[in-house]
């Protein structure tokens, strides 16, 4: 059983929860609950997203998680001492810690990215590098794994991150099955550019799109 703690905070962005859905689909693909997911926050209770509605969360405690993922926001939110301390504690206990998109700022503030390679949403990459010069920011990557620390680009890249974890845990065939259920490409390589050259071609019809594909 892989226990996953997904950390949210006020005004978190909902797209990050797409990673949670990938783990849910892995349970379906395997026919058993191999991933148990808990939504976490510093105080527990309801936490409002940037879309205005909330999710129920469990307060930080000393539960041991296999994987701890830190959610992202549409902007860099202030980080509380409690959040930073939980990130550091998670790094010591969990098998891996992960941060899609702006969640990388939580890991950087906690010192967990010092000397490590990391990425984030392209719109925030320069800011991450300027604020934390000890981090080796690679701004044009889908995701990066450096030891037990995983970071990814923004938005849909959290799905690529989750698929890579599923592949590492349960093999390529399971990850491919999950990708099919999610109706996404299996899976974009971590080194792929955040910018798609195909998008710039702007196909004018479905027939042209099929040819490009």
Q: State the Cα angle at 119 between 116 and 122, rounded to 5°.
A: 150
Secondary structure (3-state) at 69: strand
Buried b (16+ CB within 10 A) or exposed e, 20-45: bbbbbbbeebeeeebbebebbbbeee
The number of folded domains in the chain is: 1
Tokens of 88: 């550091």
Length of the chain: 213
Q: What is the pLDDT of residue 199?
A: 44
List pLDDT tens digits, range 80-135. 999 999 999 999 999 999 999 999 999 999 999 999 999 999 999 999 999 999 99
The C-alpha atoms of residue 183 and residue 143 are separated, in whole angstroms, by 20
- HEC profile for 16-58? HHHHHHHHHHHHHHHCCCCEEEEEEECCCEEEEECCCCEEEEE
Residues (pLDDT < 50) of the chain are 190-192, 195-201
Q: What is the pLDDT of residue 161?
A: 95
Q: What is the pLDDT of residue 198?
A: 39
Q: What is the pLDDT of residue 140?
A: 86
Which CATH number belongs to the domain containing residue 138 in this structure?
3.40.50.880
Residue 115: domain span: 2-212
Secondary structure (3-state) at 90: helix
């Amino acid at each position: 059983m892989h226990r996953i703690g997904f950390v949210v905070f006020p005004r978190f962005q909902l797209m990050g929860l797409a990673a949670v859905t990938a783990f849910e689909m892995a349970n379906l693909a395997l026919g058993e609950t191999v991933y148990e997911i808990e939504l976490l926050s510093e105080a527990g209770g309801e936490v409002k997203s940037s879309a205005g509605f909330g999710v129920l969360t469990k307060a930080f405690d000393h539960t041991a998680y296999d994987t701890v993922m830190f959610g992202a926001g549409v902007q860099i939110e202030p980080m509380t001492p409690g959040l930073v301390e939980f990130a550091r504690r998670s790094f010591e206990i969990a098998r891996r810690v992960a941060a899609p998109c702006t969640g990388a700022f939580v890991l950087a503030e906690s010192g967990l990215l010092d000397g490590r390679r990391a990425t984030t949403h392209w719109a925030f990459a320069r800011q991450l590098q300027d604020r934390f010069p000890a981090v080796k920011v690679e701004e044009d990557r889908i995701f990066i794994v450096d030891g037990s620390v995983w970071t990814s680009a923004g938005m849909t890249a959290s799905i690529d991150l989750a698929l890579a974890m599923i592949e590492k845990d349960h093999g390529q065939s399971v990850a491919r099955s999950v990708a099919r259920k999610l109706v996404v490409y299996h899976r974009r390589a971590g080194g792929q550019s955040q910018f798609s050259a195909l998008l710039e071609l702007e196909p004018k019809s479905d027939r042209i799109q099929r040819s490009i594909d």
